[in-house]
Amino acid sequence: MGRPEKKKGAIESAALALFARHGLANVSIKAISVAAGVTEGALYRHYISKNALAKALFIREVEQFSSGLTEAMCLDATWQARLREAVRFIYAYYRAHQIGYAFMILNYHDFREEDLVGKEHNPSDIVIQGLGSMLGGDANRLVLRAAMLMGAVSQPIIMHYYGRLPIWPSAYADEVGDLVVKMLESAPTIKEKKR
């Protein structure tokens, strides 16, 4: 890797860690350049602004995460097995990519979804479409079920990230998987699909 690429990698790593810890609004170009060990000018040679850097990092992280999520949601298995596998994937991904995952989840609202990724890479759309193919039901109920599922799965990660849950969520993957399956089994869309 050439020197400019090394600097770019250092900039991206520093920015990702700072954004994940402090949020996009609370991180300056100067803080990124200091953490990366480069000048502000070097940073601007690679990215025209802090927002351009954050957007590029966000897209990269979401695309990487979403490819594995799509695989889990599209397994040739029962919907219950697919949901359990998706939970296991999400928790394993968080453990392997804690900073990148934290950056995605904690800075998600700093970006407009339509400016970032297409439906094929948007985790919300992947979950909604996956639930639709698994369970059926009207669009409003699918979005509601997806929101409930994503909240139930994401909160242990957030609690771990902030130190409130001392054990990695991956240790609870099967338990959380069973809980979200039970939650969705009791949902009206499931009952409607069985009739």
Closest CA to 107 of 55, 70, 169, 65: 55
pTM score: 0.84
Q: Tokens representing 164? A: 């409130």
Architecture of domain 57-194: Orthogonal Bundle (1.10)
CATH topology assigned to domain 1-48: Arc Repressor Mutant, subunit A (1.10.10)
Residues 61-94 pLDDT 10s: 988 998 899 888 888 889 899 999 999 999 999 9
Q: Burial, 184: exposed, middle or buried (Cβ in 10 Å; 0-12, 13-18, 19+)? A: buried
Residues 109-146 pLDDT 10s: 777 665 566 667 788 888 888 888 888 778 888 888 88
Per-domain boundaries in the chain: 1-48, 57-194
